[in-house]
Amino acid sequence: MTSTNQHIQHHTEKNQNKARLLISCTDKPGIVAAISTFLHEHGANIVESNQYTTHPDEGTFFIRIEFAASDMKEKEETFQEGFKEIAAQFHMKWRLTFLYKLKNMAIFVSKELHCLRELLYEWESGGLMADIPLVISNHKEGKELVESFGIPFYHIPASKEIRHEVEEEQLKLLKEYDIDVIVLARYMQILTPHFVSTHPSKIINIHHSFLPAFIGANPHKRAHKRGVKLIGATCHYVTDDLDEGPIIEQDVIRVDHRNHIDDLKKKGRLIERTVLNRGVKWDLEDRVIVHQNKTIVL
């Protein structure tokens, strides 16, 4: 499948000696010193880092570090093991990813294909660093498009009544393909708490409004009725509370009195695919930490 995607292969090779650390923990003196000394002692060089500590009253420490080391593949275990100790010492939540290994991203879609398309093109042109081992849909509309990229398309019809069976089948596939990230690219089915709990902070959704305005159904119809001058889209992680998950990215587009509901939908599609694209990209680049139902984007 990825044989067709030279951009990603090229990028992966070029960055085979790079890795990324994404950490959050209660702030304490000496964290940066401990991490950077460890990396230095193991021959790694920090390429880029961003760190942020919340207000002293609360004191949570967040850092994203991109580092390079020759022969990273051979050293992978050394870094993993060595870093475990530091993480234990500071009670860190952490993630260490190696750029030579691509993440596996699954895309869920229904009838509307604009978000799926944007992701596939961005992926093809090297903008999204991941493998896409499969696309799952409750409709057949996307089949031809997906398969033209050499990606397997799974058609799993869904409805409220068979939700449990559908999710079982989906979860089986996600496991089989070893999926790291699930993107709901206008997937019009509600996921059960069970499904969500299997992938905490790993399911990304796009909502077609500027949340918290127009939570729920028919946001464009309601936006038209209210006479707003901008409509938006919100990319967020999925939690059990519908439309209430941590927001990764939002943006808006201008509308005016000449725009009927259909025009709002058309303009909305443009801003939806733009915002989802950005949110997924940041997630794949290990830039996003979830903290208290908000995101830190480093």
Q: Toward a second copy, which CB reaches closer, 9 or 198?
A: 9
Q: Which of 220, 207, 199, 234 is nearest to 266 (CA)?
A: 220
* Residue 32 interacting with a second copy (CB under 8 A): yes
In the complex, what is the shortest distance from the CB of residue 244 to a second copy, in angstroms, rounded to a whole number? Answer: 9
Q: Give me the sheet containing 247-254, strands edge to edge.
A: 153-155, 130-137, 103-109, 181-184, 203-207, 230-237, 247-254
Distance in angstroms (rounded) separating the CA atoms of residues 214 and 198: 28
In the chain, beta strands by DSSP E:
18-26, 45-53, 60-68, 93-98, 103-109, 130-137, 153-155, 181-184, 203-207, 230-237, 247-254, 288-291, 294-297
Residue number, 24 or 137, with CB nearest to a second copy: 24
Shorter beta-carbon distance to a second copy: residue 103 or 287: 287
**Complex with a second copy: residue 91 or 160, whichever CB lies closer:** 91
256 binds a second copy (CB under 8 A): yes
Residue 193 engages a second copy in binding (rule: CB under 8 A): no
Taking the C-alpha atoms of residue 263 and residue 272, their distance in angstroms, rounded to an integer, is 14
Question: Tokens for 183?
Answer: 């993107």
228 is a site residue for a second copy (CB under 8 A): yes
Strand spans (E) along 17-102: 18-26, 45-53, 60-68, 93-98
Q: Which stretch binds a second copy (CB under 8 A): 75-83, 113-121, 184-192, 200-208?
A: 113-121
In this structure, are residues 192 and 168 in contact, taking their beta carbons and an 8 Å threshold?
A: no
Q: Can 131 be counted among the known catalytic residues?
A: no
- Stretch in the footprint of a second copy (CB under 8 A) among 97-105, 155-163, 191-199, 207-215: 207-215
Instruction: Give the per-residue contact string, 230-249, with a second copy (x = CB under 8 A; - = no).
Output: x-x-------------xxxx
Return the residue of 33, 161, 193, 217 that touches a second copy, per CB under 8 A: 33
CB-CB contact of 291 with 64 (8 Å) = no
Helix (H, G, I), strand (E, B) or coil at 136: strand
Q: For a second copy, which is the closer residue by CB, 126 or 152?
A: 126
Closer residue to a second copy (CB): 29 or 193: 29
Please state the closest distance from residue 248 (CB atom) to a second copy, in A: 8
DSSP conformation class of 98: E
With CB under 8 A as the rule, give the number of residues binding a second copy. Answer: 60
Q: Strand 130-137 vs strand 153-155: parallel, antiparallel, or unpaired?
A: parallel
Q: Is 91 in the site for a second copy (CB under 8 A)?
A: no
Selected catalytic residue, list 243, 256, 262, 286? 243
- Among 293, 295, 286, smallest CA distance to 130 is for 286
Among 12, 90, 213, 259, binds a second copy (CB under 8 A): 213
Q: Residue numbers of the site for a second copy (CB under 8 A)?
A: 27, 29-33, 36-37, 39-40, 43-53, 55-56, 68, 114, 117, 121, 125-127, 148, 210-214, 226-230, 232, 246-252, 256-258, 260, 266, 269, 293-297
Which residues are tagged catalytic? 243
